[in-house]
Amino acid sequence: MAELILRDYQHDLADGIRDAWKTHRAVIAWLPTGGGKTELSVHFALAEHAADGTTLFVVERKVLATQAQVRYAEKYGMEVGVIRGEATRYRGLEPALVASIQTLRSRWENPRIQAVLARVSLIVIDEAHIQHSQHRELLSQLPQARVLGLTATPLREGLGLTYGALVKGPSYATLIDQVHLVRPRYFLPQSKRITSGLQSVAVSSTGDYADGDLSRLMRDKALICDLVSTWQAKGEDRQTIVFCVDIAHSTATCDAFRLAGIAAEHIDKSTPDDERRAMFARFRTGETRVLCSIVVLAVGFDEPVASCAVLARPTLSLIMHVQQIGRVLRTHPDKRDCIVLDHACNVIRHGRVEDFDPPDLSALDKRSDKKRRTDSVTDFRPCPQCSAIMSPGQRVCDVCGHELERKNRVHFIDGELAEAGIERQAVDTRAKMKQLYLELRWIAEQRGYKDGWAFVKLKEQYGFAAPWAWKNMSPVEASSETSRLVKSWQIAYSKRRRAA
């Protein structure tokens, strides 16, 4: 049985949560995938037990309930009751309870359930970005309990209506630098073909790509073959998770790996528990090299041996993007880094996971998980030689050493050599647009304008959509020139209204 020892950043985060509880009943904490959110919850559960309280750990999926139960009871020795479907078992005196939100909702009126919940003094909601009406009902049913939400992606619309404060842990980049997470290497094969194909894919009512159209695109035989051949060339025979569109796509991808002589298995939500456990065991030992799934492994799959993620499902959801890459960031004695083979162009669309920084909670009521069309992309691009990701402004590939050719244009005028400077002019214009955007965001914050005002005004001024990376930068105090520009917009608007 292990002794719970928190890292320094977990102690700091716990202190921040306690401070937030002084003024807010419900607090949400952000910590990157693999940063130790469950250990943080155990820390609070032990403290709650020492004060004669009871902790209710609420999950959204049964696999998360099993993982939490194992961590609490088998690893740290806490007696745990379970409220989850047919697996429900509790005495009513346990210091911690692990429950699925669905089972709690279906058994609200059960007198035994009501009796055990009456003892709860702390509610911990795992994957708190996944919100149902049942979560809000649970909080209203137990007004005596403090609330802690835990998530790696606090982006869902309406979180600010449930939680009074957001407490941030260290960033992905910090945890990578401190070797608490491994460093990812990104490759972007077939990026042009995918971005072109996605133009014809419809967007569903959820704001993400329609699965039917997307599945047909990604099941193209050439794309699946390229996926397998790329893994053979760059995957380095690593334990690999492939994120697919739907069951048809996942099984077709799994078959392609098998035809190439690679031990692969398909898993989805209908896979029986015993079969699922056997799959995970084979994956852990290396008997199975590749697991193909849809969203089953994107949330809560905790297997540190996984060191390669194949992104074969294009998504407009930043939440899904961050969660998928997070599955391969955990450290393991046999891992020096991890590899992301992005056949979906999600890195171009959303950026690297180590650059992710969640917005303040005050903005969460106004902006949901950002769904980004393919014409709204970051400045990242693939190396033309090896497909490794290259950052904005990077000219030499870190992986293969390929140097990008400079494309300055030279004109001969009356026998004199003169550089037109088109490339420098483009760079200067982009820098000017970024500065204006950040100053407009500062003005928007000062005046209480709606989120997105700066984005709209920049597009009106330049016809240019601000990249996602700019949205996570800190606003810059507006210069007198920008203030005069905004004032001129207001005057012109007033004149148009009077004329109408």
Q: What is the pLDDT of residue 40?
A: 94
Q: Where are the alpha helices (DSSP H) in 90-209?
A: 101-106, 111-117, 133-141, 159-162, 172-177, 191-197
Query: Over the range 362-398, which residues count as b (16 or more CB within 10 Å of their CB) and which as e?
Result: eebeeebbbbbebeebbbbbbbeebbbbbeeeeeebe
Q: Which class in CATH covers the domain with range 8-171?
A: alpha beta
pLDDT confidence tier of residue 147, bands split at 50, 70 and 90: very high
H or E segment to which residue 81 belongs: strand 80-83
What pLDDT score was predicted for residue 252?
94
Q: Which of 476, 477, 471 is nearest to 367 (CA)?
A: 471
Helices vs strands, H then E, count in the chain: 19, 17
> For the structural domain made of 177-356+375-390, what CATH number should be given?
3.40.50.300
Return the pLDDT at 373.
45
What pLDDT, on the 0 to 100 scale, is given for residue 199? 81
What number of residues does the chain have? 500
What's the pTM value of the predicted model, to 2 decimals?
Answer: 0.76
Q: Determine the angle formed by the axes of helices 8-21 and 37-50, rounding to 10 degrees.
A: 60
How high is the pLDDT of residue 419? 39
Given a cut of 70, whether residue 370 has pLDDT beyond it is: no
d(CA 64, CA 66): 5
More confident residue, 443 or 191: 443
Does the pLDDT of residue 414 top 90, yes or no? no
For the chain, domain boundaries: 8-171, 177-356+375-390, 432-499
| Percentage of the chain exceeding pLDDT 70 | 90
Report the candidate in 357, 351, 308 with the shortest Cα–Cα distance to residue 330: 308
- Asked, colleague to colleague, whether 8-171 and 177-356+375-390 share their fold, the answer is yes
Specify whether the CB–CB gap between 156 and 364 falls below 8 A: yes
pLDDT in tens, 243-257: 999 999 999 999 999
Q: Does residue 485 have a pLDDT over 60?
A: yes
pLDDT, residue 411, reads 40
Q: What are phi and psi of 340, to 5 degrees?
A: -115, 115
